[in-house]
Amino acid sequence: MFNASPDIREQIAASPCLQPRSDGPLRHSPIRSVVLTNADVDHIAGLLSLREREPFVIYATARVLETLRTNSIFRVLNTEVVERRELPLDGSVDIEGPQGPIGIRVDTFTVPGKVALFLEDNAPGQENFGTELGDTIGVRIRPQGGGPAAYYIPGCAQIDAALKARLSGAACLMFDGTVYHDTEMHDTGVGEKTGQRMGHISMSGKNGSLQALGEVEIERRIYVHINNTNPVLDPGSDAAKTVQAAGWEIAFDGMEIDL
């Protein structure tokens, strides 16, 4: 239902990367599979934009698949066209598209996190808001036949010794960059929740990811999943300079990563 204004049409016409593939089918999408690490809205709402009857495969833990199943709006992705497959909590899967293997192996591991905010159980005594194992995972992504490994961990509440050991020697880490300061949502007046309350470790501070991962040997480290309160989004900020000086890149829409 996209009908561009004349100005936008000109911009699209001038940009090579916005041209439709002349040899592709109508409504073609190159996406053959989607791996979900969490059921929060910023992880699953994008699925609704893929509702064009183009086949692909969704991989997620049982907890996340259950969220898709119980929200009827996700029926716009007809299960006859868009297959759902369960990810193990700690296991290895050769990712497939509708036509079979795509040459990528994913290893899953649970990380300290939280149930999706919109699924919280606020009953008295539910100190963890109903969080269960499988609500948040991280993944290692690598070629099926072996090769450099990238880690994708967009939500993580805490970095412990086991996680550091796991990440040591990685070619690339894309890590939870939600907040810089644990209290920045409150400090900027847009909300009350801390990073910890949302299941996200902060970049800064004694227990932050800059400090915790500082000594771990990782070739490229990239912050992803960056909240719009995070000062690193302003390239001129002290926060941006601090993370870059510590060897981190700040992800942006359209970023491509070659390993």
Q: Which residues bind a second copy (CB under 8 A)?
A: 1-6, 8, 11, 25-27, 41-42, 44-45, 48, 51-53, 67, 70-76, 117-119, 188-191, 225-229, 233, 250-255
Contact 134/89 with Cβ under 8 angstroms? yes
CB of residue 11 to a second copy, shortest distance in Å = 7
> Which lies closer to a second copy via its Cβ, residue 8 or residue 162?
8
Q: In which residue are the tokens 């969080």 written?
A: 131
Identify whether the C-beta of residue 118 lies closer than 8 Å to the C-beta of residue 41.
Answer: yes
Amino acid letter, 252? F
Nearer residue to a second copy within complex by CB, 72 or 99: 72
Helix and strand numbers, DSSP H then E, in the chain: 7, 10
CB atoms inside a 10 Å sphere around CB 134 = 23
Q: Which is nearer to a second copy, 7 or 215 (CB)?
A: 7
Q: What are phi and psi of 135, to 5 degrees?
A: -70, -35
Nearest CB to a second copy, comparing residues 1 and 123:
1
Compute the least distance from the CB of residue 229 to a second copy, in Å.
8
Cβ at position 27, least distance to a second copy in Å? 5
Cα–Cα separations (whole angstroms), residue 92 to 104, 114, 211: 11, 23, 30
Whose Cβ is closer to a second copy: residue 53's or residue 94's? Answer: 53
Q: Minimum distance from CB of 143 to a second copy (Å)?
A: 27
CB of 129 to a second copy, least distance (A): 13
Phi, psi of 248 (to 5 degrees): -90, 145
Nearer to a second copy, 50 or 104 (CB): 50
Dig out the tokens for 149 from the structure.
Answer: 């490994």
Burial of 65: CB neighbours in 10 Å, binned 0-12, 13-18, 19+: buried
The residue (of 127 and 253) whose beta carbon lies closer to a second copy is 253
State the Cα–Cα distance between residues 226 and 237, nearest whole angstrom: 15
Quote the least distance from Cβ 89 to a second copy, whole Å: 22
CB of 216 to a second copy, least distance (A): 24
How many Cα atoms within 13 Å fall on the side-chain side of residue 56? 19
